[in-house]
Each structure stands twice: as structure tokens, then as C-alpha cells.
Amino acid sequence: MIDVRQITKSTRDGIPILKGISFTVKKGEFIGILGPSGAGKTLTMRCMNGLTKPTSGEVIFTDNENNLINLTHCKGRELKRARQKIGVIFQGFNLVKRLSAIDNVLIGQLGNMNPLRSIFYGFTDSEAAQALAVLEKMRIGHLAHRQTGSLSGGEMQRVAIARALFQNPVILLADEPIANLDPTNARKIMKLLQPLAQEMPIIGVFHQPDVIMEFCTRIIAIKDGRIVRDGDNKLTHDELVDLYGAELNEIETAQRSTPTPNETHQTPDLVIQRLSA
């Protein structure tokens, strides 16, 4: 589906950040990318969507009609066409806060639309019905007409996932999709993402080794711009120590405060809903 071949990326001052990253993503995979801060995880993801051009190397994307698209070299219309097929979920949700949730989901189809129609006419009823169906799949159909800025973090992330799904992507990239969420909401989002991997491969950057081991099928570890591990979803403590060094203590402390799935932890939006009910 997507083939990352020896990509490197340096800053303007010539400092290398990615030093030859290669991996291939196949159907049905849920890949978790792990690594200390500044290792180059997010940059790798950006190269996979063409938002950043690597200094050298290639990213080859195969769409659902088996067309090969070289994301490193394509520009203009070809790049837009490739991006339509690659769904991206961002860490900061990156939604248009003044628009309603359903409008944000509809934005997912902008790439498939004639620009003149999108500007002068907008979306059709049937497109809106489809967007609503995706929101309902994310279990937030009832919030479709709320202004996005008034939603909670967990709800916004669901809208962002709905937008990515509404694109009908061939592959889904998720850059730290649960980093801004509380542990309970984070697990809920992971549970929503997991079954989607059957339909389209998911590549996600995560900071929580326990989450990655539970939900992903393959773990890639990046350190100092290089892949130091690419394999199954079982990580040993020694591997984590090698990967994170001193940073591991902080991660483990954060994990100890993470409640287990059995603990009922009410998120503020749920509490507010119940109070108002």
C-alpha cells in the first residue's frame, strides 16, 4: 500500500533528522511507531502524506486501482489526488472550530470535488447524509450540528477521525491521535481505530508502549532518525530501555497513573451530559 524507501530529511542548516527510513505497509496492518521525542516520527508521517518532501529517498503509494504514485516527486493535481486517498488524523485535531462537526467531516471530500462546486454550491444532501452516517459510526451523530469549538477533546478527535474516514482513504495516518486525551478517552479512540485496520492499514505515532502493544499488530521503533526495531507487537523492557534511555522513567510514571480499562473514569463531557439529562 505504501512503501517508504530510504528517506532522509535534513534541516535547512544541514542537520540530518531522518537518516534512511525504510518500511513497507501492507493490508490489514495496524502499525505503531514509537520512539523518544525528536526521533523523527512525525516527520516520517508528514513525508508519507507529501506534506513534507524528504531530502532523498522515495515514498511510493499504491492506490486502490493499483496505480503507483511517487509522493516524493508528484506535485499539483497528482499530489492532491494522492492526498484524497490518504486519511490523516492530527494530534491537535486541526478542525475548523467555527464550523459544525458535520461541516468538518464534509471537508474530507473537498479533494474529490470540483473547486467551483465547492465554492458556489457546496455539498449535497446525500453527501451530508453520508457524513452523518460516519459521525454515527463514531457514536457522535447527535453532535453533528454543534459548533466544533464547543466539543470536548475526545469528541473533536472523533470528528477528526470521521473526517479522515469520509475521505474513503486507502490508508490512514494518525499522528499521536491520543496524545491530547485523558487515558479513558484514549482507549475509546484506540478501540474505534482497531477494527478500521481491517479495511485500511493504519500507521500511528504513539507515546504509550502499553497502548501500542495492546492494539497494534506491528511496532516500528525510531531513534535518532533511524529504525532500530521493526517487528511484532511484543516489546521487552530491555528494548524499551534501549529506545528511551532516561526518558523511560517519565513514560512509566505516566503509565502508572493510567487507569486500567476496568476502572470507570468519567470524562467531563459525560458528567456534563448526565447532569443536564
Partner 1 sequence: MRPTKPPTWSYSGYRRKLTLTVWAVLAGIAFCAYWAGVSCKVNWHDLRQGIPKSIEFLGFLFPPDWSAFADMLKPAIETVLLAFLATVFGAVLSLFFGLAAASTISPVWLRSTSRFLLAAERSLPEIIMVILLVSALGLGPFPGVVAMSIGCIGMLGRLFSDAIEEINPATLESIRSVGAGHGQVIFYGVLPQVLPSLIANSIFRFEVNIRLSVLLGAVGAGGIGYQLYYNFQTLQYQRATVAILITLGLVFLSERLSSFLRKRFVPDVKL
Q: Does 111 bind partner 1 (CB under 8 A)?
A: yes
Q: Are 130 and 166 in contact (CB under 8 A)?
A: yes
Given 95, 134, 159, 222, the residue binding partner 1 (CB under 8 A)? 95
Length of the chain: 277
- Which one of the spans 78-86, 219-227, 231-239, 250-258 is the region binding partner 1 (CB under 8 A)? 78-86
By beta-carbon proximity to partner 1, the closer residue of 14 and 76 is: 76
By beta-carbon proximity to partner 1, the closer residue of 150 and 266 is: 150
By beta-carbon proximity to partner 1, the closer residue of 97 and 237 is: 97
Q: Are 94 and 107 in contact (CB under 8 A)?
A: no
Rounded-to-integer distance, Cα 164 and Cα 170, Å: 10
Rounded-to-integer distance, Cα 43 and Cα 8, Å: 10
Shortest spacing between CB 107 and partner 1, in angstroms: 5
- Which one of the spans 14-22, 24-32, 75-83, 126-134 is the region binding partner 1 (CB under 8 A)? 75-83
For 182, how many CA atoms within 13 A lie in the half-sphere containing its CB?
A: 14
β-pairing verdict for 68-70 and 202-205:
unpaired
Angle subtended at Cα 26 by Cα 132 and Cα 69, rounded to the nearest 5 degrees: 80
Shortest spacing between CB 38 and partner 1, in angstroms: 19
**Which positions from 51 to 70 touch partner 1 by CB under 8 A, shown as an x/- string?**
x-------------------
With CB under 8 A as the rule, give the number of residues binding partner 1.
32
**Which positions from 15 to 54 touch partner 1 by CB under 8 A, shown as an x/- string?**
----------------------------------x-x---
In the chain, the N- to C-terminal Cα span, in Å, equals 46
Nearest CA-CA partner of 27 in 53, 55, 1:
1
Given 80, 146, 226, 265, the residue binding partner 1 (CB under 8 A)? 80
